[in-house]
Chains A and B, each alone.
Chain A
């Protein structure tokens, strides 16, 4: 039962921050909404309590997210510069890559990180095989270089 407490706290906190209201009637509505969402989620048995929350992941993401943000900013400026050039490059690529993470969550984080970075979009993820569309050769080489793959593996906790 104890592991159901954190998701409930998240719901209550989200509601409180979102509404900012303190009137009894509104708070009662909020409490009802939280309980309803919680009850519905419990019935979808893979959503809540299926896996214990990994607090280490949250801590390690403090290293990963700033790096990802910087990569996203760099990629944004690169693609924006590319669009402004008078002659567009004629070199988009479909490439295959491996996701080296051991858990499903890790592979999904990796695939989404690739898509979030402008210039590369994940088309497909089957098992550990990724199909990625890259706008430029540099972006394709960025994925194939595997730095993001290694960093997501580290985020996942593979040492």
Chain B
């Protein structure tokens, strides 16, 4: 139990730290495209680590299955929303800062 608890807390704290880093990236990175990459951290490992930590707390049961399904939905919905957001930005000619190759929007 001690080991499970330690592992669970490691995952919970680790996931929280990753989410904070993702938020920091959201503030620090220069444009919408790069910021979406930072949000990708929260969408994937940040969320999954917290869910996994919660599963270890919940033990085997319906709650764990629900948490796993939440993780699955995040995995399916996250990339779709990032893609939709950036495709819309690209379609509306939002400029990427400091892009190099093949970018039709470079100043």
Contact = CB atoms under 8 A, between A and B. Distances in A.
Interface residues of A, number: 34
B28 A83 contact: yes
Nearest to A18: B66
A112 B86 CA distance: 13
Contacts, number: 109
Most buried by A among B24, B78, B99: B99
27 contacts: A17-B62, A18-B69, A76-B41, A76-B44, A76-B46, A79-B25, A79-B40, A80-B18, A80-B21, A80-B22, A83-B38, A88-B29, A95-B101, A111-B83, A112-B79, A112-B83, A115-B40, A115-B79, A115-B83, A118-B44, A119-B40, A123-B83, A123-B86, A124-B90, A131-B90, A133-B33, A135-B34
Interface of A: 17-18, 20, 72-73, 76-77, 79-80, 83-84, 88, 90-96, 111-112, 115-124, 131, 133, 135
